[in-house]
Amino acid sequence: MVKKLFIRNKFFLPLLVVPIILSLIGLIFVFESSSLRSINEFGDSFHYLRLQTLWFFLAIAALTFFSFLDYRKLYFFSFITILLTIFLLVIVLIPGIGSQAGGARRWIDFGIINIQPTELAKFSVIIYLASWFINKEKKRFVSFIFLVSLLIFLIILQPDMGTAIIIFLISLVMYYFAGMSFVDLLVLFPFSGAAFYLFVKLSPYRLKRILAYFNPSLDPQGISYHINQILISLTNGGLIGQGFGASRQKYLFLPEAHTDSIFAIIAEEYGFIGGALLIFLYFIFIYKIYHLIRLAPDKLSRLIGCGVFAFFNLQIIVNLAAMSGLFPLTGVSLPFISYGGSNLLISYSLIGILLNIEKRVKV
């Protein structure tokens, strides 16, 4: 009994405690990096902190709900969630319903809070594909491609290339680990590459971002401004950082300092060592998900685990790679740290499902 409890705590503590620690760090830096902007926009330095704190408690409630809900019941709700997702992805494009910011129409305003349907899409894809792939079905590949293409098309219309890429890759990971043919996936690569090229060519802004990625000195006051300010933050941080609250870039120099670029502020204040410790926390969290997948009690839980594993890995890798200049800027948030309620809510919901799976692991 003691051994069983010890093994369960090895899963439970990192899967729950690490995200909470990261979220508390996130709340501190959301306030730090947004207070000046918050005063300018709302006359209240605590505006973004207050909203993120509200989302944090909602996320904890969602985690609690899903940790007690038998994950096998998700099978019966998966079709409804994917239909709801498609519906929301359509109506967010309608002027007057979808809120527009920074040239993108990605949010539905419900008054006190905004919902981002693309975050629900990540959740729905994981649950729906896991429920779908537990059963064998002929000609599944065509249906799979149709569904994923529809979701990506709706997301690209917003536009949100970063999320489209993440959903595409999550879908491929789940398709492969469901035991499907790898040859089918190889067929996708030339078509997906051609589609990516077409989307870039059709959007001058995306093309400029790609060019800025290869040459950050191109148009330093325009398209390259964001990445250059990120690199300045990382350079200022050095090995041990400038110290808590000492970031200069947060004073409206660095765009999206409290959302996509929040890691740059952390690295500026705590340097390479602080950034490495943060990444180490993510590593512990990701490793525990991987270990849980190995002990998953059935195919449904294993596929959900693979989807969640891909979700967090891709979000972390894409954000950090963009922050260090290894990947073009895409607008992907850093899990638990960046400001953004929808992503926080979905992240904790997925953790709740993992905790429910952990209860049924045979040890």
**pLDDT at 113 (0 to 100):** 67
To the nearest whole number, what is the mean pLDDT of the chain? 83
d(CA 55, CA 14): 21
| 30-34, 187-191, 276-280, 331-335: range with lowest mean pLDDT | 187-191
Q: Is the pLDDT of residue 308 over 90?
A: yes
CB 357 within 8 A of CB 292: yes
**pLDDT at 2 (0 to 100):** 43
Question: What is the arithmetic mean of pLDDT over 175-186?
Answer: 77
Q: Is the pLDDT of residue 9 over 60?
A: no
Task: Give per-residue pLDDT as tens, 139-180.
Answer: 678 888 889 889 998 888 887 788 888 999 999 899 888 877
First-to-final CA distance of the chain: 10
**pLDDT at 12 (0 to 100):** 59
Stated as kind and residue range, the H or E segment containing 338 is none
pLDDT-derived band at 46, boundaries 50, 70, 90:
confident
**pLDDT at 235 (0 to 100):** 87
Q: Is the pLDDT of residue 138 over 60?
A: no
- Cα 141–Cα 146–Cα 150 angle in degrees, nearest 5: 150
Task: Give per-residue pLDDT as tens, 242-263.
Answer: 888 778 877 767 777 788 888 8
**Which residues touch 265 (CB under 8 Å, ≥6 apart)?**
29, 32, 33, 233, 247, 249, 250, 254, 257
- Regarding predicted confidence, which is higher, 13 or 111? 13
**pLDDT at 309 (0 to 100):** 96
Task: Read off the pTM.
Answer: 0.89
**pLDDT at 5 (0 to 100):** 46
CB 297 within 8 A of CB 357: yes
**pLDDT at 110 (0 to 100):** 67
Q: What angle, 0 to 180 degrees and rounded to 10, lies between the N-to-C axes of helices 117-133 and 299-323?
A: 140
Question: What is the arithmetic mean of pLDDT over 349-359?
Answer: 93
Q: Is the pLDDT of residue 3 over 50?
A: no
| 145-159, 162-176, 193-207, 268-282: range with lowest mean pLDDT | 193-207
Q: What percent of the chain has pLDDT over 70?
A: 85
Question: What is the arithmetic mean of pLDDT over 8-34?
Answer: 84
How many residues are recorded in the chain? 363
Q: Is the pLDDT of residue 8 over 70?
A: no
Residue 118 to residues 125, 156, 196, 354, 363: CA-CA distances in angstroms? 10, 10, 19, 21, 37
